[in-house]
Amino acid sequence: MDIDILLALQTFREGVGSCLTAFFSKMTWFGEMDVVIIFMGLLYWCVNKQIGTYLLMGWSGNRIVNGVLKVAVCAYRPWIRDPRILPEQKAFETATGYSFPSGHAMNAASLFGGLAIRRDINRVLRVLMWVMLCLVAFSRIFLGVHTPQDIVVGAIVGVLVMFLTGKLLAWLESNPEKDVLIAVIGVVIAIAAAIFSAVKPYPVDYDANGKILVDGLKMANDTFKAVGWMAAFMVGWVLERRFVKFTTDVTMQERFLRLGGGLLGYYVISLVINPTIKAAVPGFAGTVTTCFLQMFFIVFIVPFVIARFGNKSKSDIAA
């Protein structure tokens, strides 16, 4: 049935629905890792530290859950299961790892779903967030890179993780001394995910020419990315919480300085430093290292620079 749905959408997309392909390609972009993590980082640095922390923690957890589920289930992508499926080319190029559950749906659930379930956000904005989550998730089946169950499970699990993250942070407010314990547990979970992904057996199937269909360890690369992000968030979060304690209660000029400096640094790391590291440290070690640096920059390095060299807060200026 799932393949039948994809074939029906494919027929529609290639026919009268071709005008919607560009629109859903834009929607799927909102579920890309870089887009989601940058938006969360900007909220964390410039707008609301509390909400940014919640989103980054929940997203890190969701990436671990997604990575573990993918290598546990080992579901092949739709076009591997049925050669009649012809995904949209750009979406096909960015579809990494196994199929179940959808990483884009879980990214969207982390950002848009995570905001939608917060009671302290304007109701109209919350409705818009739900709409965005649905559009991003649906774009994955419209473009032919996921099945309906991939996106439904991804969205539901993603929102559930965000709900639990909110509960965890609410509990932490009453038990602030437990932050190190939470961080240690998070790092242990990340290490366990890495070990599980490295040692588990993967299915080996071949096409008619005797070529392996899917390299399981290559598919596990997404899981090792999540390991780096999760470990970096937990370490950086505790260090910032204990020793930096920056604030987002600042002037608009300071917000723009943070935005520009943070984005510049992020792209230097992503486009210059991380490719250099991956060339020197190949394999899973390079993947974990580069993703660790990426998240650590957002959660700790930028706040450290802000606290060390940034402008004074509004309250300081008023005083």
Instruction: Flag whether 151 is in a domain.
Output: yes
Domain assignment present for 318? no
- Does 282 map to a domain? yes
Q: What percent of the chain clears pLDDT 90, i.e. is strictly above it?
A: 79
Torsions phi, psi of 248, nearest 5? -100, 10
Total number of domains in the chain: 1
Q: Token digits for 73?
A: 């289930």
Residue 51 clears pLDDT 80, i.e. is over it: yes
pLDDT of 46 above 90? yes
| Residue at 319 is within a domain | no
Cα–Cα dist 223/209, whole Å: 29
- Tokens for 246, please give them: 């920056």
Nearest to 100 by CA among 40, 155, 48, 54: 155
Closest to 225 in 3D by CA, of 41, 77, 104, 97: 97
Query: Is this model's pTM higher than 0.75 or not?
Result: yes
Q: Is residue 96 one of the residues assigned to a domain?
A: yes
Domain range for 220: 21-312
Q: Are the C-beta atoms of residues 68 and 267 closer than 8 Å to each other?
A: no
Residue 155 confidence class, pLDDT cut points 50, 70, 90: very high
Task: Provide mean pLDDT across the span 184-205.
Answer: 93
What was the pLDDT predicted at 50? 96
Residue 6: inside a domain = no
- pLDDT above 60: residue 209: yes
Query: Is there a domain that residue 59 lies in?
Result: yes
Q: What pLDDT is recorded for position 97?
A: 83
With a cut of 80, say whether residue 61 has pLDDT above it.
Answer: yes
The total of other beta-carbon atoms located within 10 Å of residue 282's CB is: 10
Let me know if residue 304 belongs to a domain.
Answer: yes
